Amino acid sequence: MRGNWGIRLHATTAASSVEFTYRGQPTGQEPQAARVTVVGAEGILPVSRLESGTTVFLSGGSALVMRGGKAFHGNSGTADVAGVLGFGSQVPAGDRLRLEANVRVLLYRLGMADSTGAEYLPGTQTDVQPYVGVVLGLGGRREP
């Protein structure tokens, strides 16, 4: 099997709210707006191509995970570097277009402190990101 390896640049953002707790109990404080933004790059390696032209691939790379919004205002340690692993498939939808379904897993160490210096319990964070999209091939022509 030949070709279709590549590099993917990706950026995602998600908005939510954070409810603060102490030892598992609500503090009574109103939930605060929060945002998580992920920017990264992955190498794409095809592992199988079906007769229909569908390609199954693996991906891996790194990403920067950044937290923001009122919930994280004044905190330190709100950005982390993550390792990224994924798998998915692409279906041809034209000469340079492909439809894609993919699952990406981000793994990183989470450790933050608030404005008083109190640290949140550090730990390993795993984020699973399923997505679908349209891929535009920028390289040479695809094999038939």
Whether residue 4 is predicted with pLDDT greater than 70 in this model: the reply is no
38-55 pLDDT tens trace: 999 999 999 999 998 899
Under a CB-based contact definition with an 8 Å cutoff, are residues 55 and 49 in contact? yes
Contacts of 7 (CB under 8 A, 6+ apart): 41, 42, 43, 44
Q: Which among 34-38, 111-115, 117-121 has the top mean pLDDT?
A: 34-38
Q: What is the pTM of this model?
A: 0.79
Q: Which two tokens stand for residue 110?
A: 């989470």
Whether residue 3 is predicted with pLDDT greater than 60 in this model: the reply is no
- DSSP one-letter string for 87-105: EEEEEE-SSSEEEEEEEEE
For tokens 């160490």, name the residue: 109
Whether residue 22 is predicted with pLDDT greater than 90 in this model: the reply is no
Asked if residue 49 belongs to a domain, the reply is yes
Q: Give the number of domains in the chain.
A: 1
Determine the Cα–Cα distance for residues 35 and 32; give it in Å rounded to an integer.
10
Q: Which range of residues forms the domain containing residue 51?
A: 6-136
Asked if residue 141 belongs to a domain, the reply is no
Asked if residue 144 belongs to a domain, the reply is no
- Looking at residue 51, the DSSP 8-state letter turns out to be T
- Sign of torsion over alpha carbons 114, 66, 63, 86: positive
Strands 97-110 and 123-136: antiparallel
Percent of the chain with pLDDT over 70: 93
DSSP-assigned beta bridge partners for residue 33 = 17
Whether residue 138 is predicted with pLDDT greater than 80 in this model: the reply is no
Asked if residue 14 belongs to a domain, the reply is yes
Asked if residue 19 belongs to a domain, the reply is yes
